[in-house]
Amino acid sequence: MLWLRWFTAFLDVATQFAPLSPQAQHIAHGWLDSIEKLVVNIVIIRASHRVRPLTLKPLIVERGGRRTPKGRAILGLRLRRALRAKDLRTRIAALSQDIGTLVDRVARRLPRGLTRLRGPRARASSAPNHARIGMGAGRLAAADTS
């Protein structure tokens, strides 16, 4: 987190002369993206020791650097939005908060389970589809296309 303090001091000095250009803001957000991935990985690893094991595939970052949907679900929308602020200073403040509080937030919501990841439960039907529609099994015939 020392790097984030240095980056804040750098932004303070850089904005004394002129506001940051859109290109400089884009580069800064790129740097903060890598710090965010590191913070999120630390939070998920520390929170995993506090809750029961989830029956999910391991959190593997896909080829483009994007997280799997299950990894995003574990983290939670509110926390992801807090770490993804559009203003640089707000985002730095969110990333530099205590890791323990972030772990507590994630560990508090994980025991409820990831309910939206489960599909709807299928009920066993008593009759095949063709019997429900009213067609007999032997009455199907080819169409006359002449």
pLDDT of residue 45: 84
**Max CA pair span of the chain:** 85
Contacts 24+ apart (CB under 8 A), 87-95: 88/11, 88/20, 88/25, 88/28, 88/29, 88/32, 89/8, 89/11, 91/29, 91/32, 92/4, 92/7, 92/8, 92/11, 92/32, 95/4, 95/32, 95/35, 95/36, 95/39
> Which stretches in the chain have pLDDT values below 70?
52-71, 111-144, 146
pLDDT of residue 80: 83
Distances (CA, A) of 125 to 13, 131, 138, 139, 140: 69, 11, 21, 22, 22
> Within 10 A of 102 (CB to CB), how many other CB atoms are there?
23
pLDDT of residue 26: 92
